[in-house]
Chains A and B, each alone.
Chain A
């Protein structure tokens, strides 16, 4: 154990003393924080250029309303009331007359005008807009633009069109608009967490509004942090071991330590590095969250799980990487082995969103109990506000411990043989043979 600790200490010192480590440590949160600041700053910086939109109104009742509403908006809503500064785009509507015979040609011309930036978009309102039940096809409102899916202008049309339609319908039914006001009032359910009772004090904590920070961002950040730690500490073991093999450092060390001690020293060095970095980030994250008054949203009960799973994950991936590194003879070998070896680490990132959406579902449960995926997926499930059965993180932990032990055993057997063998190609068949036959 003493020798493993000496090797660990060397690995740790070598990693944390480098300038790149310190720069990386500071730069990662700065980049993440910086991108959030840029996003916040740019959020209100909307496009304020005037937008010309053409209207083909087959109903004959909408164009005037839209023009008047747009004019009202342009004179009252696009300037900051305090500074008088223009803060939104003005909408300039152009009514296009078209009969059914020339409609298609008209739309082609309008499309060309949009392409040449003379128009922002054009909208076509169906003739049966007031009574869609009679013929839904005639009640369609079609918005044509180059980037229709992401275009926010379409949202503005919804209210004036539907408001006008509602008025016409009320008039047709000869109803008193004030008396039927409630008819158009929509009730929306609010998204709320659960009520908590403190078991010791009996204090009741009322339910709170849930938000995207709690539901999505925290699990996302935690799993991303774990991924970063593995990428930063365990994955580089492949090239580090390969270099020690190529530069013949390995055999010198093997005069003093056993191959297992050598490998474990490197892995424990990686764990120390990842623990240091993650502790810095977690503490900084908690301080920052408290400063922003969202400290109570941090799932503190998940943090011990996070660190336990992180340690095991680094050992699991680290021993595989060290074993593969010992099999490599040059950078080409390392490049061809690195990507397949990283698949179990990367794969959970692709299925992260469905797991966050339904952390208690059968897919999330099953996948999170498969050892290579457990550390990341179980952390996602634990970090969401949804309660998962208490036994599952423990069952996952047992699986991960067993798989990690296997990984170290198998990695050790490969490492022991290949670390001194030059020129042997790292084929999967050979590696498997070494694991089971030694």
Chain B
């Protein structure tokens, strides 16, 4: 069963098509990652799902119905640009958000989540006294405080340190294990690869990727080699049959030209230097993203 079904939605702002004939189905209990470059239409799509913006055409069904009404109370939404009333106290603001969502067992859930995200000591303090990371965790709690069935998180990890990213990631997984369907948009391809059951990419308002990571990678085949060798990148530049090199310093990711055999490349490298790691792989999500939205793709499109 799908929690969210989007059928052919389009949204235009002053002749600019922010979302163009988009269709999507989010299965119940899944984690669905929205990726795409800035301005591609992620936030507009999310706002339309939340009924904050109305599509010019097309249909959005949330929890089985087109008309949101009280179903909105079953959705937790953390927008990309977010703010809280600074003069309110931490516990007070969580109670306010829970009441707005008609939440039950409010106090217990507030106490549980404040403790879970290390904010217990700040319960009686005003929001303005919190650090940026703390406010972001507080906003996350405000989003999920009423135990929503659907959780939509727009860039939930941006600006957080690794410890807090980890804390929030675990919290998201905990919520999924409790049965929530989660959508989140991110620019961190690593997080998307590791956390999402499904990945959807939007580019210039159009859907360009949709499916499991594996099904997406299958489309591109085993055209990628990850290699660690003495002298690093310097030995790779002179080889034929290489379309692109992503240099990560200690490791290089090579995209092969079509119909080039990886074994031929390995032999060529071994003639020049010692190889400590050689892996034939499918392209990473990061690489796929760059292939679709990077400068080369733009040049190709312009040509």
A residues bordering B, Cβ < 8 Å?
A: 2-3, 6-7, 10, 14, 244, 247-249, 251-258, 420
Contacts and interface: CB of A to CB of B under 8 A. Distances in A.
B110 interface: no
A254 B100 CA distance: 11
Contacts of A255: 50, 52, 72, 75-79, 143
Given A6-B100, A251-B79, A256 B72 contact: yes
Interface residues of B, number: 29
Contacts of A252: 77-79, 82-84, 139, 142
16 contacts: A6-B100, A10-B96, A14-B87, A14-B88, A244-B83, A248-B82, A251-B79, A251-B81, A251-B82, A252-B77, A252-B82, A252-B83, A254-B52, A255-B72, A258-B51, A420-B47
Contacts of B53: 420
Contacts of A254: 50, 52
Nearest to B77: A255
B137 interface: no
Nearest to B52: A254
A12 to B, nearest CB: 13
Contacts of B78: 252, 255
Nearest to A2: B102
Contacts of A251: 52, 79, 81-82
Contacts of B84: 249, 252
Contacts of B77: 252, 255-256
B147 interface: no
A6 B47 contact: no
Interface in B37-90: 47, 50-53, 72-73, 75-79, 81-88
A86 B81 CA distance: 74
Contacts of B109: none
A257 B142 contact: no
A104 B189 CA distance: 99
A6 B99 CA distance: 7
B77, B83, B101: most-surrounded residue (chain A CB, <10 A):
B83
B38 to A, nearest CB: 15
Contacts of A3: 100
Given A14-B85, A14-B87, A252-B84, A257 B100 contact: yes
A433 B53 CA distance: 18
A6, A249, A254, A255: most-surrounded residue (chain B CB, <10 A):
A255
Contacts of A244: 83
B90 to A, nearest CB: 15
Contact of B81 (A2, A14, A248): A248
A256 B73 contact: yes
B97 interface: yes
A103 B86 CA distance: 77
Nearest 9 Cβ contacts at the A-B interface: A255-B77, A248-B83, A247-B83, A248-B81, A256-B100, A249-B83, A251-B79, A254-B52, A6-B99
B102 to A, nearest CB: 7
Contacts of A247: 83, 86
A3 B97 CA distance: 10
A244, A248, A251: most-surrounded residue (chain B CB, <10 A):
A251
Interface string B14-55: 000000000000000000000000000000000100111100
Interface in B155-169: none
Contacts of B87: 14
Given A248-B82, A253-B100, A257-B100, 19 more contacts: A2-B102, A6-B96, A6-B100, A10-B96, A14-B85, A14-B88, A247-B83, A248-B83, A251-B82, A252-B77, A252-B79, A252-B83, A252-B139, A252-B142, A255-B77, A255-B79, A255-B143, A256-B73, A420-B47
A421 to B, nearest CB: 9
A10, A247, A256, A258: most-surrounded residue (chain B CB, <10 A):
A256
B146 to A, nearest CB: 9
Contacts of B86: 247
B237 to A, nearest CB: 45
A10 B77 CA distance: 20
Given A248-B81, A249-B83, A251-B82, A256 B97 contact: yes
Contact of A248 (B79, B88, B102): B79
Contacts of B76: 255
